[in-house]
């Protein structure tokens, strides 16, 4: 099938490349000329495992091309994958959706299927259809399909080929049959529903996952007070199939381009429909305060942070991505700078993006060793494999005082107890070891 994909961010590019890989002919369209030129030469503008390899392969086989030209006359199906960022009041900014709908309308020459991949408030697909049909030539009919995306950054290609379900919300059988055909080669379970339910499934799924994270973070706070270990608690809870063991990692809260934005949007959607979504408001509130925990712990450990050298290990909102949107490192670095600390940041991939997100006072280092040398406190922000595998001896040899505050519970407490280190993690007992004579003294 000939498919055009409008918007080549994390979702549009991965969708385009994956659809090309299963045999469709894909034209990816973006208004960002520099990005399009880069992609046309086989270079991915985002860091995403497997993506560049599949891009090159499908460009060479003639299944994948990139353009800034907003013409769709040869497309059987058009996917919309533009951004829907949040406005200051928490609602979704639909200006890119509106622009994409207008350009589609202007260039349609035949009946077409328009598929919305972007996350959009309930009712938006009906609005898109109306926008296009009102501006397109009168005889042209548009079939609209809601096909929300569930991929995770950092494993986007894997998720596309191994997802738990594909959700297809339609208004008629034609849309349903064509989308079934397009997706058949993925071999994944397909769940059919109506347009509004599909839109709601996306928000409800992200809100539920965010709720799991804030729930376990609340449990972790109680564990710290009563002396329990949140990891053991999560494992024990997860043994119950009704609860499941996924998304129960306590830490510094959720970040990224979607959970914060989509939880806020769902609170707004509920409010617009006279429903006060109290539970989700609390989930958001818990998450906002969770991010500051590492700074509070650093203050408790060393007192005034002014003039203290603090290392940030990991800057992206999660491992295996260079995405800095809503990363916990941003408010943490800002607060540390406000308190007068010297902040040094390291990330294996995200430093180029981090430069425009973090305060200008932050210094960036290319290696873990340079980041830790002379530091008073190290904060583990992102659990990159290269950070999880730092030998604990490295902290004790390079830092002025080996105080490690681990926002991602990267180390086992048994291992930590074997080193002269002050180790503070989330929802687990603190370990404060030091050498007395030749033996290790644990508190």
Ligand X SMILES: NC(=O)C1=CN([C@@H]2O[C@H](COP(=O)(O)OP(=O)(O)OC[C@H]3O[C@@H](n4cnc5c(N)ncnc54)[C@H](O)[C@@H]3O)[C@@H](O)[C@H]2O)C=CC1
Among 169, 256, 314, 407, binds ligand UGA (CB under 6 A): 256
Nearest to 393 by CA among 356, 428, 418: 418
Determine if 292 is a binding residue for ligand UGA (CB under 6 A): no
Task: Tell whether residue 30 is a contact of ligand X (CB under 6 A).
Answer: yes
For residue 205, state whether it binds ligand X (rule: CB under 6 A).
no
Q: What is the DSSP letter of 247?
A: T
119 binds ligand X (CB under 6 A): yes
Clarify whether 410 is annotated catalytic. no
Nearer CB in complex with ligand UGA: 46/248: 248
Closest approach of ligand X to the CB of residue 423, in Å: 32
Q: Which is nearer to ligand UGA, 47 or 72 (CB)?
A: 47
Q: Which is nearer to ligand X, 151 or 336 (CB)?
A: 151
- List, in sequence order, the alpha helices (H) in 108-155: 124-135
Name the residue nearer to ligand UGA (CB basis): 136 or 156. Answer: 156
Distance between CA atoms of residues 92 and 118, nearest Å: 11
Does 415 carry a binding-site annotation? no
Using an 8 Å Cβ cutoff, are 90 and 264 in contact?
yes
Q: Is 407 annotated as a binding residue?
A: no
Query: Which ranges of 291-380 would DSSP assign to H, the alpha helix?
Result: 293-302, 329-338, 351-354, 368-372
CA distance linking residue 366 with residue 310, whole number of Å: 16
Question: Which residue has 């033996």 as its token pair?
Answer: 439
Exactly one of 94, 100, 250, 344 binds ligand X (CB under 6 A); that residue is 100
For residue 258, state whether it binds ligand X (rule: CB under 6 A).
yes
Binding of ligand X by 118 (CB under 6 A): yes
Cα–Cα dist 221/428, whole Å: 9
347 contacts ligand UGA (rule: CB under 6 A) = no
Site for ligand UGA in 355-384 (CB under 6 A): none
Q: Which of 28, 223, 258, 410 is catalytic?
A: 258
Question: Is residue 84 involved in binding ligand X (CB under 6 A)?
Answer: yes
CA distance 78 to 109: 13
Taking residues 259 to 278 in sequence order and writing x for each that binds ligand UGA by CB under 6 A, - otherwise, the string is: x-------------------
- What stretches of 33-141 show up as alpha helix (H) in DSSP? 33-40, 51-60, 95-107, 124-135
Per rule CB under 6 A, is residue 206 in the interface with ligand UGA?
yes
Who's near 137: CB < 8 A, 6+ residues apart?
108, 109
Residue 112 carries which DSSP code? E
Please tell me whether residue 215 binds ligand UGA under the rule CB under 6 A.
no
The only residue of 257, 263, 353, 382 in contact with ligand X, by rule CB under 6 A: 257
What is the C-alpha end-to-end distance of the chain, expressed in Å? 65
* 348 scored as a contact of ligand X (CB under 6 A): no
Return the residue of 3, 4, 5, 10 that touches ligand X, per CB under 6 A.
10
Strand order in the sheet with 377-380: 363-364, 342-346, 309-313, 377-380, 403-406, 422-424, 431-436, 439-442
Name the nearest CA neighbour of 221 among 254, 250, 248.
250
Binding residue per annotation — 235?
no
Using CB atoms within 10 Å of the CB of residue 401, give its burial: 0 to 12 exposed, 13 to 18 middle, 19+ buried. middle
Among all residues, which ones are annotated catalytic? 258
Task: Output the known binding site for substrate.
Answer: 150-153, 202, 247-251, 255, 318
Interaction site with ligand UGA (CB under 6 A): 119, 149-153, 206, 209, 213, 247-249, 251, 254-256, 258-259, 317-318
Interaction site with ligand X (CB under 6 A): 6-12, 29-32, 35, 81-84, 96, 99-100, 118-119, 149, 151, 153, 257-258
Task: Output the known binding site.
Answer: 30, 35, 84, 119, 150-153, 202, 247-251, 255, 261, 318, 325
């Amino acid at each position: 099938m000939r498919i055009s994909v409008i918007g080549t961010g994390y979702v549009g590019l991965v969708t385009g490349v994956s659809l090309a890989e299963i045999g469709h002919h894909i034209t990816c369209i973006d208004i960002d000329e520099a990005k399009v030129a880069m992609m046309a030469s086989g270079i991915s503008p985002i860091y995403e495992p497997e993506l560049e390899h599949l891009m090159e392969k499908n460009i060479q086989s003639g299944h994948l091309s990139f353009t800034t030209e907003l013409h769709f006359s040869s497309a059987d199906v058009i996917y919309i994958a533009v951004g829907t960022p949040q406005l200051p009041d928490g609602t979704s900014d639909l200006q890119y959706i509106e622009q994409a709908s207008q350009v589609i309308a202007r260039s349609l020459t035949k009946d077409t299927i328009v598929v919305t991949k972007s996350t959009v408030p309930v009712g938006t697909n009906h609005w898109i259809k109306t926008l296009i049909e009102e501006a397109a030539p009168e005889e042209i009919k548009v079939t609209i399909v809601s096909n929300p995306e569930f991929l995770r950054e950092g494993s986007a290609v894997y998720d596309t080929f191994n997802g738990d379900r594909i959700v297809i919300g339609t208004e008629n059988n034609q849309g349903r049959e064509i989308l079934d055909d397009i997706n058949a080669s993925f071999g994944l379970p397909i769940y059919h529903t109506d347009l509004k339910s599909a839109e709601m499934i996306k928000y409800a799924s992200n809100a539920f996952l965010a709720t799991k994270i804030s729930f376990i973070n609340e449990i972790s706070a109680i564990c710290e007070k009563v002396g329990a270990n949140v990891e053991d608690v999560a494992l024990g809870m997860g043994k119950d199939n009704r609860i499941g063991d996924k998304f129960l990692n306590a830490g510094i809260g959720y970040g990224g381009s979607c959970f914060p934005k989509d939880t806020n949007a769902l609170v707004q959607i509920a409010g617009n429909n006279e429903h006060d979504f109290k539970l989700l408001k609390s989930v958001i509130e818990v998450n906002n305060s969770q991010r500051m925990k590492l700074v509070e712990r650093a203050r408790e450990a060393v007192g005034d942070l002014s003039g203290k050298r603090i290392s940030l290990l990991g800057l992206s909102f999660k491992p295996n991505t260079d995405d800095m949107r809503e990363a916990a490192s941003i408010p943490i670095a800002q607060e540390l700078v406000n308190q007068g600390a010297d902040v040094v940041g390291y990330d294996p991939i995200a430093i180029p993006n981090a430069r425009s997100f973090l305060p200008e006072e932050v210094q960036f280092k290319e290696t873990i060793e340079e980041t830790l040398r002379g530091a008073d406190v190290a904060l583990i922000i992102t659990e990159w494999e290269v950070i999880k595998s730092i030998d604990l001896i490295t902290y004790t040899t390079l830092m002025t005082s080996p105080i490690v505050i681990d926002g991602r519970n990267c180390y086992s407490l048994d291992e930590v107890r074997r080193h002269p280190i002050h180790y503070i993690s989330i929802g687990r007992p603190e370990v404060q070891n030091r050498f007395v004579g030749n033996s290790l003294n644990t508190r």
